[in-house]
Amino acid sequence: MRLKNEVALVTGGCAGLGRAIVDRFVAEGARVAVLDRSAGGLDALREAHGDSVLGIEGDVRLLESHQEAVGRCVESFGKLDCLIGNAGVWDYSTALVDIPADRLVDAFDEMFSVNVKGYLLGLKAGLEALYDSNGSAVFTVSNAGFYPSGGGALYTGAKHAVVGMIKQMAYELGPHIRVNGIAPGGIGGSDLRGLQALDLAETSISTIPLGEMLADILPTGRMATAEEYAGAYVFFATRAETQPLTGSILNIDGGLGVRGFTEANRGSLLERHFAKVVQV
């Protein structure tokens, strides 16, 4: 177990990628505090993992929620080794021209409050505890932090801001606290929700057939599951193998950045040379 005796705090840990991260960290020997707004989701985590998980109900847009989460984590588990900022919202790729003018300001504020400010507040609240443990922070980015079309102007802008934040925080906080990011692509089993300001808060990304849409685009040939992404967070949270690792962002997106200007060959070049002919 690579995270035995380690303690993590995960925001947005009750569903989708966040839940997969919590499950994997517990399986790797960690104890995990979870800050989430879903009381029912926190109850489900406690039922699944018992005393290995501590649930804190709160809002990532509020510094007080992060302070409570860090305080209760340290009180219950004795320390904090890794902060994982994961809570987020999506804009469902809403184009700027389609956002009503009277909703744009509220939509912008909501997006950046959750996806950027929520990360920065969590790190601010955890600074002393992470300094004491010589720990690390890992933030969920997205392929939208590097490329267009993974969201609209609001989501893509927010995720680009997270990339800059990670690099600046790694610069400011080293060598005491390492700061890195994970940039997933499409996620099977995600329950990412939309903006309240655009009437999308009750809409889940799972309603979109992303798997079908990405099958002909990704060089890997298929969209990964939340569980398949979780291992990257384990690696970034470990100590022995990752001491030199800070200010880095892992593009773990199925190869979106290398698919070129035409459709992905999806193995056809290799199959043309090496595929075995089946005799009937």
Active site residues: 155
Distance, CA of 137 to CA of 139 (rounded, Å): 7
CA-nearest of 250, 255, 210, 207 to 230 is 250
Q: Which residues contact 257 (CB under 8 A, 6 or more apart)?
A: 143, 146, 147, 251
What are the CA-CA distances from residue 225 to residues 82, 127, 202, 207 (Å)? Answer: 23, 32, 22, 15
Distance, CA of 128 to CA of 134 (rounded, Å): 10
Assign 163 to helix, strand or coil.
helix
CA-nearest of 38, 31, 44 to 73 is 31
Element housing 182 (H / E): strand 178-184
Query: Could you tell me the two tokens for 125?
Result: 């609240």
Burial class (CB in 10 A: 0-12, 13-18, 19+), 44: middle
- The neighbour count for residue 274, using CB atoms within 10 Å, is 8
Angle between helices 118-133 and 153-173 in degrees, nearest 10 = 20
Assign 12 to helix, strand or coil.
coil
